[in-house]
Chains A and B, each alone.
Chain A
């Protein structure tokens, strides 16, 4: 049991003497263990600190002597606030009647002054936004996703309605995959008709995606841009090696936004963004897609890329000051999300959780706009956001968690 010095110990001669003799003792002990040695002198007890490694062997060092501490030492904490020279551009997705479109509501993303949810130092002006995936033909989907859409998969307009009306999608991401020459080779003109139908079916903004065919996508997106003129849709996507100029021109002419997609390469991302800016698009018309890999399948690269891009933008790199699109529904490519496996437990829960964790990671890393597939993910993420934006009051008490957790 240790009895400590009083507060005025420094003044006491005997204490000084004691410290000296202690130092001598340590010198004598040399390399010997000196941990937890106690020396009693009158009513005083010193406890030598357990000192780590070489520190304990350095004889010139005096042992630290503690005072008796009866009350908490006072101190202050001041939040370590940073200010950043840069700010992320704000992108308005969709247009209402008053600004040339027909959407009921628009969605604004970006405009960040700090990393996501660092509300101690700055409030970012816009919420993160969520889109749900719709395809222009029935596709292979994980069972737990498919069960929510099975009856509407033959009609993208009904599919989009289901997402908006039943699951609260803020944006629809319409993927025109049937235009792929190797799938159905739907013409750009016919694909544009699908876009028109979806625009009429729902009143939320649209992301219009091609099939990934580099030669055809620019024409498909151009035709879609024309029929959606003025709606401020997102054209997905311009690549370094497709006819990005055609897509950029269409966006400018018909008032849309362009996704700049690169496969996990920050240098090419900068280059592509620059090229699009050179085509006359403003930062407010570009969204970055640096590639979203699924949890367990390269999410580490995605999260670091997003953090690097967001931080670079905040630090003033104007080629990277655009909001980030995260295709988090890619998490359904992970076998852990969809595969039946006794070892991994029921996939009905595992699948949406896989998408939820992927999305949360991308949210924290700097994503602004997310594509989701499973209604449960949408519900969970929306609720979580309301909490993280401080919109939900709570009187949660955690002080008794040790005794109050159920078994």
Chain B
């Protein structure tokens, strides 16, 4: 097992002057922020002075994550993948959300290519205050024609501002795209160096300073050999593709491979495997005419499977929003920082411009519940008061079952929030999932309790029916 980085070992390389320039009271506090990844060494102004150069270098090396962070693209069009430190997110948090690329084939006609690029770039969904988006375009050389491939590469680069993956196992196609596709200075990810073509592909990666994928399907010895060789040649930015089998026994092997290489890197300190991992759920679309619904469905759950087990980059094919939404949502879930508090402050919130006739809603202080309800009320343009109950950060259904959502807590909230003075009526709307507490809450508050909808998206319709 690699040595665990301790607070003291980090502190050793700091100036130890407790100057406070970083905003922390002392260097020890800074060290702890470094370990929590809230700061980087760059956040210590003195450390950037020449006399600390050596210490800085050692510090950077000491706290480098076991999985290398690889940057694809340049300027304002970059994606960072890898940089992982732990096997399970509760051990710290996962950094750099899995990047999702959508493929574009050079056999599509030009109009369709431009349209697809625009679609990839425009798809965006807002969930709990965060915009979920696709990140990259993977240009596939299916034509086997270097001229066509380089033309399409440049067309894609002009049609959207996303980092690219250039896909071909034939080096002459990659070469053509780099030479003539107007992407040479954009650090596209080259896919892929294999047992057959590694000499030529690694040459291109060096010449154009591009990150490169190593493809070794279901053969980890070969994967490691290829990495060792490319490292010796001087390639630094490597992404590993151990093969994304989507069927039968080979799917089992694929999952095992992903776990093994991540564990070898993180727990055994295997430097040869300390790179980001990619998977290609798009493989479910191989072969003769696929039914688009079945294939999109399968691709989405295969993507979820790989994302749950360490894929840092996925190439997908579907543009069906119903299939992408769960994948993007899963990414949001997996990459939420588990150290972030799950609750918001309880109390009374005004939504819009409420007056003494405005309705009063009750919800819990579980952050997800609160933001969902508040967003729904706001976007429906409802002026109202929202009482946020302290359920110890639990959602409605769970806290009703667990007893944190109870009538005496509601009564306390009534008293502490002063809601009774804000409105002239005495009607409280409670969540549909808390319906069974109607009577108890009426008894404890002496207010009339109206059971609201089970989902806050339906509040608007509910109000027109039940709120005069």
Question: Chain A residues in contact with chain B, CB under 8 A?
Answer: 2, 36, 47, 49-50, 52-55, 57-58, 64, 66-67, 69, 72-77, 79-80, 82, 117-120, 140, 180, 182-183, 212-214, 239, 241, 261-264, 291, 293, 295-301, 303-304, 307-308, 311, 330, 333, 335-336, 339, 343-347, 349-350, 353-354, 356-357, 360-361, 364-365, 380, 384, 387-394, 396, 398-407
In Å, the complex CA distance between A357 and B217 comes to: 25
Assess the A350–B325 pair: CB atoms within 8 A.
yes
A195 to chain B, nearest CB (A): 21
Assess the B330–A361 pair: CB atoms within 8 A.
yes
Is B358 on the interface with A (CB-CB < 8 A)? no
Assess the B167–A212 pair: CB atoms within 8 A.
no
Assess the A47–B195 pair: CB atoms within 8 A.
no
Given the complex, which residues of A lie within 8 Å of B402, measured CB to CB?
A: 239, 241, 262-263
Known: A66-B234, A120-B260. A74 touches B225 (CB 8 A): yes
In Å, the complex CA distance between A338 and B327 comes to: 17
In Å, the complex CA distance between A361 and B308 comes to: 7
**A-contact 0/1 string along B293-307, CB 8 Å cutoff:** 100111011001100
Assess the B220–A77 pair: CB atoms within 8 A.
yes
Assess the B289–A300 pair: CB atoms within 8 A.
no
Assess the A66–B233 pair: CB atoms within 8 A.
yes
Assess the A53–B301 pair: CB atoms within 8 A.
no
Given the complex, which residues of B lie within 8 Å of A394, measured CB to CB?
A: 245, 247-250
Given the complex, which residues of A lie within 8 Å of B333, measured CB to CB?
A: 295-296, 299-300, 303, 361
* 7 contacting pairs across A/B (C-beta < 8 A): A75-B272, A301-B342, A307-B89, A345-B321, A396-B248, A404-B286, A405-B103
Assess the A401–B283 pair: CB atoms within 8 A.
yes
Is B455 on the interface with A (CB-CB < 8 A)? yes
Known: A263-B401, A357-B304, A361-B304. A402 touches B142 (CB 8 A): yes
Is B153 on the interface with A (CB-CB < 8 A)? no
A71 to chain B, nearest CB (A): 8
A30 to chain B, nearest CB (A): 10
Assess the B264–A353 pair: CB atoms within 8 A.
no
In Å, the complex CA distance between A375 and B244 comes to: 27
Given the complex, which residues of B lie within 8 Å of A335, measured CB to CB?
A: 455, 457
Given the complex, which residues of B lie within 8 Å of A339, measured CB to CB?
A: 455, 457
Assess the B247–A392 pair: CB atoms within 8 A.
yes
Is B259 on the interface with A (CB-CB < 8 A)? yes
Is B54 on the interface with A (CB-CB < 8 A)? yes
A295 to chain B, nearest CB (A): 6
In Å, the complex CA distance between A53 and B342 comes to: 37
- Which residues in window 233-269 of B have CB below 8 A to A? 233-234, 236, 243-252, 255-256, 259-260, 263-264, 267-268
The residue from A52, A117, A297, A360 contacting B395, defined by CB atoms under 8 A apart: A297
Given the complex, which residues of A lie within 8 Å of B300, measured CB to CB?
A: 353, 357
Q: Chain A: which residue is nearest B342 at the CB level?
A: A301
In Å, the complex CA distance between A295 and B334 comes to: 10
Is B121 on the interface with A (CB-CB < 8 A)? no
Is B438 on the interface with A (CB-CB < 8 A)? yes
The residue from A52, A213, A296 contacting B127, defined by CB atoms under 8 A apart: A296
In Å, the complex CA distance between A391 and B247 comes to: 11
In Å, the complex CA distance between A333 and B368 comes to: 13
Assess the B53–A54 pair: CB atoms within 8 A.
yes
Assess the A118–B259 pair: CB atoms within 8 A.
yes
In Å, the complex CA distance between A167 and B411 comes to: 47
**A-contact 0/1 string along B24-36, CB 8 Å cutoff:** 0000000000000
Assess the A263–B404 pair: CB atoms within 8 A.
yes
* B interface SS class: helix
Assess the B221–A53 pair: CB atoms within 8 A.
no
Q: Chain A: which residue is nearest B340 at the CB level?
A: A300
B350 to chain A, nearest CB (A): 25
Is B436 on the interface with A (CB-CB < 8 A)? yes
The residue from A298, A304, A405 contacting B140, defined by CB atoms under 8 A apart: A405
> Assuming A301-B338, A345-B325, A364-B305, what are 14 further A-B pairs, CB within 8 angstroms?
A53-B57, A182-B439, A291-B398, A296-B127, A298-B342, A350-B326, A353-B322, A357-B300, A364-B308, A399-B217, A401-B280, A401-B283, A401-B286, A403-B142
A291 to chain B, nearest CB (A): 6
Is B169 on the interface with A (CB-CB < 8 A)? yes
* A interface SS class: loop
Known: A72-B198, A339-B455, A398-B243. A296 touches B322 (CB 8 A): no
The residue from B89, B283, B338, B366 contacting A398, defined by CB atoms under 8 A apart: B283
Total residue contacts A-B, CB cutoff 8 A: 273
In Å, the complex CA distance between A388 and B252 comes to: 4
Question: Chain B residues in contact with chain A, CB under 8 A?
Answer: 53-54, 56-57, 60, 88-90, 103, 105, 107-108, 125, 127, 140-142, 144, 167-169, 191, 195, 198, 206, 209, 217, 220-221, 223-226, 228-229, 232-234, 236, 243-252, 255-256, 259-260, 263-264, 267-268, 270, 272, 280, 282-283, 285-290, 293, 296-298, 300-301, 304-305, 308-309, 317, 320-323, 325-327, 329-330, 332-334, 336, 338, 342, 366, 368, 394-395, 397-404, 435-436, 438-439, 454-455, 457
Assess the B206–A47 pair: CB atoms within 8 A.
yes
Assess the B142–A405 pair: CB atoms within 8 A.
yes
Given the complex, which residues of A lie within 8 Å of B246, measured CB to CB?
A: 396
- Looking at A299, A311, A388, A405, which has the most chain B CB atoms within 10 Å of its CB? A405
The residue from A57, A67, A261, A311 contacting B88, defined by CB atoms under 8 A apart: A311
In Å, the complex CA distance between A2 and B233 comes to: 10
Given the complex, which residues of B lie within 8 Å of A346, measured CB to CB?
A: 322
Q: Chain B: which residue is nearest A58 at the CB level?
A: B57
A268 to chain B, nearest CB (A): 9
Assess the B436–A182 pair: CB atoms within 8 A.
yes
In Å, the complex CA distance between A339 and B322 comes to: 12
Known: A67-B232, A388-B252, A396-B248. A180 touches B144 (CB 8 A): no
The residue from B127, B247, B286, B322 contacting A387, defined by CB atoms under 8 A apart: B247
Given the complex, which residues of A lie within 8 Å of B287, measured CB to CB?
A: 404, 406
Given the complex, which residues of A lie within 8 Å of B327, measured CB to CB?
A: 357
A140 to chain B, nearest CB (A): 7
Known: A180-B436, A333-B397. A80 touches B234 (CB 8 A): no
A54 to chain B, nearest CB (A): 4
In Å, the complex CA distance between A239 and B402 comes to: 8
In Å, the complex CA distance between A347 and B325 comes to: 12
Assess the B107–A407 pair: CB atoms within 8 A.
yes
Given the complex, which residues of B lie within 8 Å of A212, measured CB to CB?
A: 400-401, 436
In Å, the complex CA distance between A331 and B168 comes to: 40
In Å, the complex CA distance between A85 and B449 comes to: 54
B192 to chain A, nearest CB (A): 9
Assess the A304–B286 pair: CB atoms within 8 A.
no
- Looking at A80, A400, A404, which has the most chain B CB atoms within 10 Å of its CB? A80
Assess the B251–A387 pair: CB atoms within 8 A.
yes
Assess the B326–A388 pair: CB atoms within 8 A.
no
B363 to chain A, nearest CB (A): 14
B297 to chain A, nearest CB (A): 6
